[in-house]
Amino acid sequence: MDPPPDHPHMWDGLAAYLRGIDASLGVRPKAVLVISGHWEMPQPTLNIAERPKLLFDYYGFPEHTYRLKYPVSGAVDLEPRVRSLLEGAGFEVGVDAKRGLDHGVFVPFLLIYPQADVPIMQLSLQQSLDPGLHLALGRALAPLRERGVLIVGSGMSYHNLAAMFSGRGAGAAAAFDAWLGEAVQDPETRDAKLSAWRTAPGGRESHPREEHLIPLMVAAGAADGDRGVRSFGEAIAGNAISGFQFG
């Protein structure tokens, strides 16, 4: 992204974090299953395109941001296993072979795997945005980790853009960030705490609509007893933003 002139290094820390994810894993995953805050469907839906296009689902950005390319292969061989796991947990599963990967996928992965050499499958959110349902979705997907699949929740720990860029969001962002960092840690209490995120300090102020928070629920659900750790933390435009890792 092009940073604003008065904050030329706004995104440097986040970019460095994304570029460092591959090395931090210790092993290259065989495939990635990513859940983005930019795709909601009535039922969990898999993008099964063999060569997914890009969906430029944003407006008013510089012209060059609409010419980005990310020629990644779709992880289509995951579809039978993902379907089996989700249906076994009581979910109905949809498929879509035409939708492109949205910017919640291709923007971070241009930095994570710039050579586009790790196959990706995108899974939609369910339109209810129910946190408990998405924690259960993640639990159903946990066995994929044993097959070398990296499960990624792509969203934002703070997503109130109006408050963020007006300078009014820092207090709520800091309060919610502190709460979130504690809530993800203990696998014994994590589900209950995350399910009640709306009552957390700064919770609703940080997420007037929760679609950017819910991908974290899927990743946390897939943690399979692993403690959550804060792997990224920085103030962006004065607002606390964090990333978390399980396992």
Residue 76 lies in a domain: yes
Residue 1 lies in a domain: no
Phi and psi at 37, nearest 5°, equal: -75, 5
* pLDDT at residue 111, rounded to an integer: 98
Domain that holds residue 30: 12-246
Least confident of 4-8, 144-148, 154-158: 4-8
Res. 107 pLDDT band, cuts 50 70 90: very high
Strand partners, 33: 121, 151
Residue 6 lies in a domain: no
Average pLDDT rounded to a whole number, residues 138-163: 96
Q: How far is CA 201 from the centre of its chain?
A: 22
* pLDDT at residue 162, rounded to an integer: 87
State how far the Cα of 136 lies from the Cα of 191, in Å rounded to an integer: 9
**Where does 109-227 show beta strands of DSSP type E?**
120-126, 149-154
Residue 156 lies in a domain: yes
- CATH number of domain containing 68: 3.40.830.10
Average pLDDT rounded to a whole number, residues 86-96: 98
Pairing label, strands 228-236, 239-246? antiparallel
* pLDDT at residue 3, rounded to an integer: 81
Considering only CA atoms, give the Rg of the chain: 17
Residue 234 lies in a domain: yes
The domain total for the chain is: 1
Residue with tokens 């039922």: 43
Residue 142 lies in a domain: yes
Question: pLDDT tens digits, residue range 57-89?
Answer: 999 999 999 999 999 999 999 999 999 999 999
Average pLDDT rounded to a whole number, residues 103-122: 98
**pTM summary value:** 0.95
Average pLDDT rounded to a whole number, residues 200-225: 97
